[in-house]
Chains A and B, each alone.
Chain A
Amino acid sequence: EVQLVESGGGVVRPGGSLRLSCAASGFNFDGYAMRWVRQRPGKGLEWVSRINGNGDYPEYADSVKGRFTISRDNAKNSLHLQLNSLGAEDTALYFCARERHGGPLDCWGQGTLVTVSS
């Protein structure tokens, strides 16, 4: 069974940092690009970051560029998102998701909640 499980969310002060992780199982992890998508409370979905299968081509939404860093460890079937310089606007549920080859997001984790508050 394909499964994605996020962890690492929590409450952090403005300007702080957090590292999110996503553990993947049930599929050939390094054969897929992966994405982080977030959802602010009561709002819609927003693409945050993407990384290709071998991890050498990260991409970011303008809203997080220069503050967030995506990475992956294919040996451990894990995806990560380092969040720095956090602001209130980064408060959201963060999902990791698998990108079907050239296509949509066909498997999602349950999400991990990041709350930025003083």
Chain B
Amino acid sequence: DIQMTQSPSTLSASVGDRVTITCRASQSISRWLAWYQQKPGKAPKLLIYEASNLESGVPSRFSGSRSGTEFTLTISSLQPDDFATYYCQQYNTYSAWTFGQGTKVEIK
């Protein structure tokens, strides 16, 4: 199975900060990567698909990029609603999709 290594596991930041989360795939997944946001007790919400495409309705402060097998989620100016856990997920393989371990963004 393709392994997704996400870092950091926890991130402390303040409102207005620029935040970057990284996800590395164990092999090539082309651009087939998504980012999700999850708040406690809620379902994940799709933010980014195909590495850099913003899902409809998601604020433009969220962006995604790719360099080889390394993927980045950036929040340009952290807002109070953005404190949550973020997961990357590869969908290169037909069925055996894998998620990163998650990054919890906490208030500093």
Chain A residues at the B interface, C-beta cutoff of 8 Å: 35, 44-47, 50, 59, 61, 95, 97, 100, 103-106, 108-111
Q: Are A44 and B97 neighbours in the complex by a CB distance under 8 Å?
A: no
A50-B95, A59-B95, A61-B96 known; A45 vs B49 contact (CB < 8 Å):
no
Total A-B contacts with CB atoms under 8 angstroms apart: 49
Answer yes or no: B7 CB below 8 A from chain A CBs. Answer: no
| Chain A contact residues, majority secondary structure | strand
B44 touches A110 (CB 8 A): no
Tell me the complex Cα distance, A97–B89, Å: 14
- Distance in Å from the Cβ of A15 to the closest Cβ of chain B? 27
Which B residues form the contact surface with A (CB < 8 A)? Answer: 34, 36, 38, 42-46, 49-50, 55, 87, 89, 91, 95-102
Q: Which residue of B38, B42, B55 is within 8 Å of A106 (Cβ)?
A: B55
Residue of B50, B95, B101 touching A44 (CB-CB under 8 A): B101
Q: List 24 A-B contacts (CB under 8 A).
A: A44-B87, A44-B100, A44-B101, A44-B102, A45-B89, A47-B99, A50-B95, A59-B95, A95-B43, A95-B44, A97-B43, A103-B34, A103-B49, A104-B46, A104-B91, A105-B34, A105-B36, A105-B44, A105-B46, A106-B49, A108-B44, A109-B43, A110-B43, A111-B43
Shortest CB-to-CB span from A116 to chain B, Å, is: 20
Residues of B within 8 A of A46 (CB): 99
Assess the A106–B46 pair: CB atoms within 8 A: yes
Give the chain B neighbours of A61 by CB distance below 8 A: 96
